Amino acid sequence: MLKLPFKLKVRKALKEKEPYSNGLSDSQAKEYRILTFFEDVLPRLNEIFSEFKNFAFELTNYLARILHLSFLRFEMGKSLFAAILYRQRGKYAKRFVHSGMAGLAALGVMIAPVIAKEFPGRTLDPWDIPSPSSVLSASVEETGISTDISSKPRDKIIEYEVQEGDTVSGVADKFAVSQDTILWQNDLSARDRIKPGQTLEILPVSGISHKVAKGDTVYSIAKKYDSSPQAVVDFPFNTFVNDETFELAIGQSIIVPDGIKPEERPTAPRTRRITPDAGTVVASGAFVWPASGTISQNFVWYHKGIDIANRAAPDILAADAGTVITAGWPDNYGYGNRVVIDHGNGYRTLYGHLSRIYVTPGQTVVRGAAVGKMGSTGRSTGIHLHFEVTKEGAYLNPLSVLR
One-letter-per-residue 3-state SS of 37-106: HHHHHHHHHHHHHHHHHHHHHHHHHHHHHHHHHHHHHHHHHHHHHHHHHHCCCCCCHHHHHHHHHHHHHH
pLDDT at 212: 92
Asked if 287 contacts 389 with a C-beta cutoff of 8 angstroms, the reply is yes
pLDDT at 299: 92
Please state, in angstroms and rounded to a whole number, the distance separating the CA atoms of residues 337 and 380: 11
Give the strand pairing for 347-357 and 337-342. antiparallel
pLDDT at 317: 93
Give the Å distances, CA to CA, from 384 to 291, 301, 336, 360. Answer: 10, 20, 12, 21
Asked if 324 contacts 394 with a C-beta cutoff of 8 angstroms, the reply is no
Please state, in angstroms and rounded to a whole number, the distance separating the CA atoms of residues 91 and 80: 15
pLDDT at 88: 55
pLDDT at 1: 40
Report residue 128: phi and psi, to 5°.
-90, -10
pLDDT at 112: 78
CA nearest 356: which of 324, 328, 390?
Answer: 328
Asked if 372 contacts 386 with a C-beta cutoff of 8 angstroms, the reply is no
pLDDT at 353: 93
Give the pTM.
0.50
Query: How distant is the alpha carbon of residue 310 from its chain centre?
Result: 32
* H-helix segments, 213-281: 218-224, 229-234
Give me the torsion for CA of 232, 233, 239, 243, rounded to 10°.
150
pLDDT at 246: 87
Asked if 254 contacts 210 with a C-beta cutoff of 8 angstroms, the reply is yes
Q: Which residues of the chain have pLDDT under 70?
A: 1-26, 28-30, 32-33, 35-40, 84-93, 116-152, 264-285, 332
Please state, in angstroms and rounded to a whole number, the distance separating the CA atoms of residues 314 and 272: 19
